[in-house]
């Protein structure tokens, strides 16, 4: 919980119902979405959640902010599909498209997060 609070995420709920169940709800700054985690919330092992997305308006700014708070964040990357298979390539999307540039980090439990830059949302999203 401290890791996320140190990132500036708001603690919305901390509810414990005995030794087998505790739920925490945290919300990133400016977000309309929250995350839940805790004890007894899911049978998944701590650190087993991978590919969790955090959508950001400015990837470089979000990355720099995380780094300033001591988080190890990958370099920016994008994907290409030239061979029909997704391939990770260093650097931002060369066309600067929304939904196409990423950086990644992990929390202390090993859960893996992807920062995804979205400057212009597709209709309906």
pLDDT of residue 105: 97
**Do residues 64 and 96 share a domain?**
yes
Which residues of the chain form beta strands (DSSP E)?
A: 10-16, 22-27, 35-39, 52-56, 77-80, 87-90, 101-106, 112-117
pLDDT > 70 fraction of the chain, expressed in percent and rounded: 99
pLDDT score of 1:
84
The pLDDT value given to residue 88: 87
Do 34 and 51 reside in the same domain of the chain? Answer: no
Judge if 48 and 5 occupy the same domain. no
72 and 110 housed in the same domain: yes
Structural domains counted in the chain? 2
Q: Give the three-class secondary structure for 105.
A: strand
Q: Which of 43, 60, 76 is the last residue of a domain?
A: 43
Q: Note whether 59 and 38 are same-domain residues.
A: no
Q: What is the CATH number of the domain that holds 114?
A: 3.10.180.10
Co-location of 4 and 34 in the same domain? yes
Are both 125 and 95 inside the same structural domain?
Answer: yes
pTM of the model: 0.87
Model pLDDT for residues 63-102, shown as the tens digit of each residue: 999 999 999 999 999 988 877 788 889 999 999 999 999 9
More confident residue, 64 or 38: 64
Q: What's the CA gap between 57 and 60, in Å, rounded?
A: 9
The domain containing residue 77 runs over which residues?
A: 44-125
For residue 87, the model assigns a pLDDT of 86
pLDDT category of residue 35 using cuts at 50, 70 and 90: very high
pLDDT at 86: 82
């Amino acid at each position: 919980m401290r890791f996320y609070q140190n990132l500036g995420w708001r603690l919305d709920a901390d509810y414990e119902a005995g030794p087998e169940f505790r739920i925490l709800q945290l919300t990133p700054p400016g977000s309309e979405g929250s995350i839940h985690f805790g004890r007894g919330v899911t049978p998944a092992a701590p650190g087993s959640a991978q590919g969790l997305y955090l959508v950001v308006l400015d990837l470089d700014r979000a990355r720099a902010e995380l780094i300033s708070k001591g988080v190890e964040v990958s370099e920016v990357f994008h994907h290409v599909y030239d061979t029909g298979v997704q391939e990770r390539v260093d650097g931002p999307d060369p066309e600067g498209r929304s939904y196409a540039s990423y950086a990644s980090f992990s929390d202390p439990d090993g859960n893996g997060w992807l920062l995804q830059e979205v400057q212009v949302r597709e209709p309906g999203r």
